[in-house]
Amino acid sequence: MKKKLSSLLALLVIFTLILSACSGGGKEKASTESGKGSEENPVKDRGNEIVIGVSGDPQNWDPIDTFLLDWSTVATSVFEGLVDRTIDLELQPGLAESWEYLDDKTLQFKLRQGVTFHNGEPFNAEAVKFTFDRLLGAEGQKGPQYSNYTSIESVEVVDEFTINMKLNTPDPVLLTKLAGYGAVIVPPKYVAEKGDEHFNNNPVGTGPFKMTGYKRDQEIVLEKNPEYWKEGLPKLDKVVYKVIPEASTRLAELQTGKIDIMKRVEVSQAETVKESGFLELQEVGTPTAFSLRFDVAKKPFDSKEVRQAINYAVDKEAIINEILGGYGKPISTFQSELSFGNNPDLEPYPYDPEKAKELLKKAGVKEGTAVDLFIPGNDGNFKEIAQAVSFYLEEVGIKVNINTADSTTLTSDLIPNAKAGHMYRQGWGGWTLDFDNTAYLMYYEGEQWNPSFKNEKVEELLNKQRASVDPEERKAIFKELTELLYDLAPELNLYSAVDLYAVNKRVQNFQPPHEDRMRLEEVMVK
């Protein structure tokens, strides 16, 4: 049976490759087979700038209003926080030169002097206080970032370049969070004078690039910040992001020289990129995990046995190998191996369709029961995965209706409002590299991306690990938590992602980010 299913997945990949060839990918491949490297680079007169093709637009640039990776891809170059994280995921000073705990609940930051926002406004302690008052106040509480920072009681100004962050409880992941999206520092006068709505579309930060143009769902223009505090950076004069939802169109734009970097290369496109004389395929392991989450308020997924059955019914290993071409890693819970809290003792649910049928029968699920699955319409890889999952579930008696939606609509509207069917694709960036962030937002009642799951023991363990700063104690708590979640099976865990980027060889010093946060200040062109 497994051989038959793996063969079907292989056929799906071959069929996709044929379609790619018919749509133009094959023509490009044919032109390079006679001699890789002989092609002339189509980019001639772009100057000291690059163009990047991305798949989505976060629709809002205010850092307290979003949790989308599409935001971080661009806005990491616009905004900065007190703490920074290198492209290799190491914490380092950002807008704060140093920090120390004065006591268990007081964290003091010494701020960097001589930094200005893009509008000329000075960066100082008042800007930091304003940022966190806003994040933790009425405006911030409307958005998805707030819950990450509730351990902060207040920010007090000590002097112009010193602040004390008062905590209401210990927070073992606070410094990592401060290197994240929501805690980037914003200009007080600009936000107060222009208002939140204006700030949504006209962001101002202290980063190496300033946003000078934005056409929603079309393009974002960044230009060099000549007053940037890191001497000699950035090296580029301009970066333009083109929003191109379809991967096939992004690849065509790359091949004709209209863009320099393509984000989210699909597996079926990898060989075309490799065979080009002027393109390079770059891959990077990520903390991003992908699952099909269940709406546990909807039958039959209100039953743990049914959720476990789905996990047994799907051959995740075959999906990784046959559809993703090996560009993925198996996961047992909704986190990657890069995440603190990952339990290496837990093996992913094995492929066992007979066990799945047994559990479904025990739960009283009738053969032919139909369920709705929602996925983003612009993710070609996941369309194939959804088709494979549909096939596996049909083998155990469940019919899957695959629905597509715009990725932003799915993430920001359908999922939070429990309108994403019985199960839906959930990708999670794991940006703190700590299971706390993922688990709290996915499993704590009332959180934006948790429309229906509730378990008192899960919440007890989540609160317990947040109250400790002892790594060994937290590791033990996460071990218990992951074992519990493994049994409850609130999702079908599929894989952690290996991301693919295609880069024109004129681009120098570009390193693909582990967590979508492109760092471009060192990038050059030749």
pLDDT per residue as tens digits for the range 24-35: 333 333 333 434
3-class DSSP assignment, residue 481: helix
Q: Name the β-bridge partners of 339.
A: none
pLDDT one digit per residue (tens) for the chain, 526 residues: 444 555 555 545 444 443 344 433 333 333 334 345 568 999 999 999 999 999 999 999 999 998 788 999 999 999 999 999 999 889 999 999 999 999 989 999 999 999 999 999 999 999 999 999 999 999 999 998 998 899 999 999 999 999 999 999 888 899 999 998 889 999 999 999 999 999 999 999 999 999 999 999 999 999 999 999 999 999 999 999 999 999 999 999 999 999 999 999 999 999 999 999 999 999 999 999 999 999 999 999 999 999 999 999 999 999 999 999 999 999 999 999 989 999 999 999 999 999 999 999 999 999 999 999 999 998 888 999 999 999 999 999 999 999 999 988 999 899 999 999 999 999 998 878 999 989 999 999 999 899 999 999 999 999 999 888 888 999 999 999 999 999 999 999 999 999 999 999 999 999 999 989 999 999 999 9
d(CA 356, CA 305): 9
The reply to whether domains 79-197 and 285-499 share a CATH topology is: no
Quick one: pLDDT at residue 6?
A: 52
DSSP secondary structure of 61-103: --TTS---HHHHHHHTTT---SEEE-TTS-EEESSEEEEEEEE
**Contact call for residues 179 and 131 (beta carbons, < 8 A):** no
**Superfamily for 79-197?**
Dipeptide-binding Protein; Domain 1 (3.90.76.10)
pLDDT per residue as tens digits for the range 508-519: 999 999 989 999
CA angle 38, 240, 510 (to 5 degrees): 55
**Superfamily for 285-499?**
Dipeptide-binding Protein; Domain 3 (3.10.105.10)
d(CA 514, CA 343): 21
Q: Give me the sign of the Cα torsion angle 216, 517, 166, 481.
A: positive
Global pTM?
0.76
pLDDT per residue as tens digits for the range 477-500: 999 999 999 999 999 999 999 999
Bond prior to 234 in cis (omega within 30° of 0): yes
The tokens describing 317, both together, are: 């290993």
Which of 331, 299, 296 lies closest to 316, judged by CA?
331
Bond prior to 300 in cis (omega within 30° of 0): yes
Domain range summary for the chain, segments of one domain joined by +: 79-197, 285-499
